[in-house]
Amino acid sequence: MTNFSIEARARQQIVDKRSIGALAGTVEQKSLHQLEAGKTGQARIDALNARDATPLAVFNCPTRRPAVPYPNRNQANNNGNRSPIHGRADYAASCGDPPGVELDYPLPWKFAEGDDPNRRWVPHKWYNGISYPFSMVTMANVRDGMSNTYMFGERYIQPDHYTTGMLHSDDWSMDRSAGDDLIRSSYHNSKTKLSWTPLQDRPGLSLDTHFGSAHHGSCNFAFCDGSVREINYNIDGETHRRLGNRHDGAPASSAAP
């Protein structure tokens, strides 16, 4: 069982430190990343809302949509008020190969809920990627090798709603922690052959779990060694799964073409 008292309280700062929004502090946006630092009460809430509303060009793909604020339909963080606009990200972290990206939802909104000994949690072993609820992954945990493991990738978004904020997986700011706006799975079922391989954005098709992009032919992934590579949409499902799983011990190069 997850110890909410230790883990969640440590992460109550704002976001999982491996989420997209947390990277703001590493891309010359430290002042934005720490906008609420030292503030309390309404001043802190105002700072959080201001950060939610701020887009960053590095987190948007210019092929898809510009880095501008987009409307917030109705989402509000439990440590802030609802901001009418959000800066959004076109990229997502890899949570591994689980059959879903929000297996622990709904997460508790109060410490008492998380501390409840009768609360059931999804075992961490279901997630085997880099970022997921309460993740604490270190370099040593990436046993398949840093150059063989996805860290982030472009995420699939239905093009009809690039700017509306109406999609279930595109209605939060980039500062949200692990959820379907900011994590994706490389799920593959060898028996049913169901694979969540990357897809090019398609009008009329809404998917909350896949990587993908607006580009023709392929989308981009950042691996844990810092390299960025194009991954073809026709990648074999098992190969994609292995690249998402950080410790399955199966070399991606030996997967069936």
pLDDT, tens digit, 9 for 90 and up, residues 106-123: 667 677 877 888 887 777
pLDDT, tens digit, 9 for 90 and up, residues 20-35: 555 555 555 677 777 7
Tokens of 129: 């990627």
Model confidence band, residue 46 (pLDDT cutoffs 50, 70, 90): confident
What is the rounded CA–CA span in Å between residue 136 and residue 229?
Answer: 25
Contact 209, 242 (CB under 8 A): no
pLDDT, tens digit, 9 for 90 and up, residues 198-220: 999 999 999 999 999 999 999 99
Residue 125: count of CB within 10 angstroms of its CB: 8
Portion of the chain with pLDDT greater than 90, in percent: 52
Average pLDDT of the segment spanning 4-10: 37
Average pLDDT of the segment spanning 220-241: 96
**Quick one: residue 96, left, alpha or beta (phi over 0 = left, psi -120 to 50 = alpha)?**
left
Average pLDDT of the segment spanning 143-170: 95
Pairing mode of beta strands 199-200, 85-86:
unpaired
How would DSSP label each residue in 110-138?
SHHHHH-TT-----GGG--SS--TT----
Q: Among 70-79, 95-104, 123-132, 182-191, whose mean pLDDT is lowest?
A: 70-79
* Predicted local confidence at residue 12, as pLDDT: 36
* Predicted local confidence at residue 232, as pLDDT: 96
Instruction: Report the chain's mean pLDDT, rounded to a whole number.
Output: 83
Helix or strand run (H / E) with residue 85: strand 85-86
Tokens of 191: 């028996």
* Predicted local confidence at residue 13, as pLDDT: 34
* Predicted local confidence at residue 20, as pLDDT: 55
**Quick check: 38 pLDDT over 90?**
no
Portion of the chain with pLDDT greater than 70, in percent: 82
Cis status of the peptide bond prior to 84, with omega within 30 of 0: no
Identify which has the larger pLDDT, 27 or 171: 171
* Predicted local confidence at residue 14, as pLDDT: 32
184 bridge partner residues:
94
Classify 232 as helix, strand or coil: strand
Average pLDDT of the segment spanning 151-161: 97
CA dihedral of 78, 81, 82, 87, whole degrees rounded to 10: -80
Angle at 71 between CA 67 and CA 76, to 5 degrees: 110
